[in-house]
Amino acid sequence: MRTFTAREGWPALRAAWAAHLGPAELEALDETVVFAGHWHGDQTRPAGEPYVEHLLEATRVLVEEVGVTDVDVPRAAVLHDVVEDTACTLAEVRDRFGGRVAVLVDWVTKPPRGEGQSREEARAAYLERLDGAPDEAVLVKLADRLSNVQRLGTHPRPEKRRGYYPETVRFVVPLAERHPWFRDWFGAWRAEFGHLDGTATVARD
């Protein structure tokens, strides 16, 4: 099972992606990475790595492995958590990057919980909704989840490890069936982490 990192940072990835994207697309991503870096600031992932590494990991999968050349898709991947996890609004994303990018970001942003709705219910409803998402939004979500689960065995919270596996199998693996590369990757991932199966609990944030 291949895993992906982005520890080398944006300048190194940008240089490598010149073989995949044109100058205009790379310049568009320059702006997007700066914007995301501003809003995410010094946020870190559960294992302590800078948050922007997660955003670039997801984007790396789309550009290098899936072969996405429509720049709005990797831009949405860079921005996929900016509304959910920072004070940035969807309107700000729309004003800066256009309606299409904003729509993709909106699809992969968990909405606030409804009245009387538990965290688990809200999370399940969000994931179920993705079954009707545009294909480009599904690609962003698949790349996001790949980055999140590729090193699941090292996640510092045991309850997250136990909940994330069945949640991914239930909601995300069916989405991966639409895309051969993701289908094969998640198939290998299931074989690697199948020992975590055994509960249908929806993972907590």
> Which residues does the annotation mark as catalytic?
84-85
- CB contact at 8 A, 181 and 139: no
Max CA separation in the chain (angstroms): 50
Which residues 6+ apart lie within 8 Å of 152 measured at CB?
161, 164, 165, 193, 196
- CB contact at 8 A, 172 and 140: no
Query: DSSP code of 44?
Result: B
Task: Return the amino acid letter for 112.
Answer: P
- CA–CA separation, 80 and 98 (whole Å): 14
- CA–CA separation, 105 and 108 (whole Å): 5
- CB contact at 8 A, 55 and 36: yes
Q: Three-class SS of residue 50?
A: strand
- Residue 93 has a CB neighbour count (10 Å cut-off) of 26
